[in-house]
Amino acid sequence: MAIPSPTCQKYTNMIKSSHYTIIGDHMTNDQISEESNEELLPASESPWYHLLTWYGEPAGIDPEGDEYLVARNRDFWHRLWWNQFGSQVKEKLQEIALEPLEVFSDFEITDINIELNKRFPPGNMFDVSKLLSDSTINFCDLRFPFVDFSEYYFLKQMIFDRTHFVGRAYFNRAHFASWVDFREVYFSYWTDFRDAYFANWVDFSKAHFAEYADFWETHFADRANFRDGHFAGLATFRGSYFTAWTDFGKAHFADRADFRSCHFADWVDFREVHFGAEVQFNQVNFEFSVGFQNTRFKSTTDFSETNFDKSPKFHGSELYVNTRWHDVTWPKQSSDKKQAVEDMENWGTLKFLMNQVMRHDAELDFHAKELEARKVVTGKAFISDYYREFSDYGRSIARPFIFLGFSFVLFFFLSWMIKTMPFAFSEPASPFVDALMFSAVNSLPFMPLFKHIYAETITRLELFIGAVQYSFSLLMWFLVGLAVRNRFRIK
C-alpha cells in the first residue's frame, strides 16, 4: 500500500526503466544517465536541507571531523523542535548532545531567518516558524550529496520520492516519528539505516540500492513496504523487527540477502522475489503467515533454526538444491479443517519442490506433515497413526526393529507360559528353549525353520499366537525395508 503524499514540487521521472536493467544478476551506478540526474534539483535548493546541515555539509572524507560537524548540525536540528519533544525524547537527545540543549529564543530564530534567506537568491523569503508548522518535510525530486543524519529525530512526515543520493547516506539510529516515503529513491552508494526506528509507515517501493544496504536491527513499528525494490549489493536486515504487514513482493536481490534473527509479527510477503545469491533466514521468527509463491532462489538458502507459526507458502517457487532446514520449529497441526486443507497444500508443495532437487530427507519430512494435515481433512486416522507410531512415516529404521524386539520378548513369554501350563497337550523336554525358538521363528518369517518348530503337535492357542506374531513381524519388516529405501534411495 502506497503512502499518500502531497503534491511534489517537481514531477521529473528520475528513475527511468533503464535504471532497473539487470545485467546478469547485477545492476550498476551507470544506469542513471547524466541527463536524468541533471533534471533533479540539488538538495541545497531546499530550505529543509540547510536546516539539517546548518553548520556545513559533511564531506565523508574525514570521519572524525565529520563526526563533530554532524553532531553540531544534529543539535541545531533538535533545538528547532525542542518544544515539540516529549520529556523522554528530550532526555535521550540530551545524552548524545555536545552541550545541553534548549529551545531557540525569538532573537535567535530571527537571526536564523536572516542567515537562511542569505543562502538563497533574492526574492526567496523563508520563515523558520512557518516551516516548522508544516505537516510535511518534502525532499521530492532532489539530488543529495553525501549525507549523515545519524541519530537525528524527525517528527514530521518525510517525503523523498524519486530522490537520488549520489553519495553515501547515513540514517543509522535515526528516529522517524511519522510516516516516511522513499519511493523510487536511488541510493548510489552505501546506505545505512542500522538501528533506525520507524514509528509509522515506511515505503521503499521501487527503491534502488546500488551498493550495500544496511538495515541491521532496524525497528519497523508499522507497515514496511519494499515492493519492487532492487538490491544490487549486499542487503542485510539482520535482527530487524517488523511489527506489522511487511511487503518484499517482486523485490530483486542480486547479491547476498541476510535476514538472520529477524522477527516478523504479522503477514510478510516474499512473493515473486528474485534471490540471485545466498539468502539467510536463520533464526527468523515468523509469527504469522509468510508467502514465497513464485519466488526464485538461485543459491544457498538457509532456514536453519527458524520458527514458523503457520505453514509457509511456496507454490510455484524454485528452490536451490542446497536449501537447509536444520532444527526448524514447525507449527503444530491445527484441528481446524479449513486450516488443515491449506496446510496440506503447503506441505505438499514443499514435498514436491524437495523432490525436484532430490533432497529426499526433506521430502520425507514434508510428506509426514502432509499426512498429518490430511488426517484432519479426511478424519481417517487409523492407518496414518499406525504409520507414524511404528516407523515415523517411513523415516525411522530403528523404530520397527525396536517393536520387533518387544514383540519377540512378549510372545516368548506367552509361548513359555502356555507350554508350562497343566493343560498343555504335550510336555516338551525344554519349554524355555521351545518358546524361545517359537518366538524367534515368528519374528523372522523369511527363515526356513517352520517345519522344525511346527512339526511338533502344538495347541490351537499357540497357532493363533504364532499367526498374530507372524503377521505383526511381516509388517515391521516391511516398514524396515521402506525406511531403508527412503534413507538410501538415489534418483
Residue 397 is given by DSSP the state S
Give the whole-angstrom CA distance, residue 478 versus residue 234: 50
**Residue of 309 and 63 predicted with greater confidence:** 309
pLDDT digits (tens, 9 = 90+) for 6-20: 345 443 333 333 333
Kindly state the average pLDDT of the residues 145-159. Answer: 95
CB within 8 Å of 88: residues ≥ 6 apart: none
Q: Can you list the positions of beta strands (E) in 246-373? A: 246-247, 252-253, 257-258, 263-264, 268-269, 274-275, 279-280, 285-286, 290-291, 296-297, 301-302, 307-308, 323-324
Render pLDDT for 379-407 as a digit per residue (tens, 0 to 9). 776 667 777 777 777 777 788 888 888 88
Asked whether the beta carbons of 3 and 181 are under 8 A apart, the reply is yes
pLDDT of residue 28: 46
| CB of 256 closer than 8 Å to CB of 232 | no
- Of all residues in the chain, the percent with pLDDT exceeding 70 is 85
295 band by pLDDT with thresholds 50, 70 and 90: very high
Given this model, what pLDDT does residue 59 score?
A: 84
Separation of CA 222 from chain center:
17
pLDDT per position as a tens digit, 318-359: 999 999 999 999 999 888 999 999 999 999 999 999 989 888
Q: Mean pLDDT for the chain? A: 85
Res. 429 pLDDT band, cuts 50 70 90: low
464 is written with which cell numbers?
493363533
Tens-place pLDDT, residues 241-264: 999 999 999 999 999 999 999 999
Buried b (16+ CB within 10 A) or exposed e, 463-477: eebbeebbebbeebb
Could you tell me the pTM of the whole model?
0.79
CA distance 246 to 265: 9
Confidence check: pLDDT of 164 > 70: yes
| Identity of residue 171 | F
Specify the DSSP class assigned to residue 332: P
The residue ranking higher by pLDDT, 152 or 30, is: 152
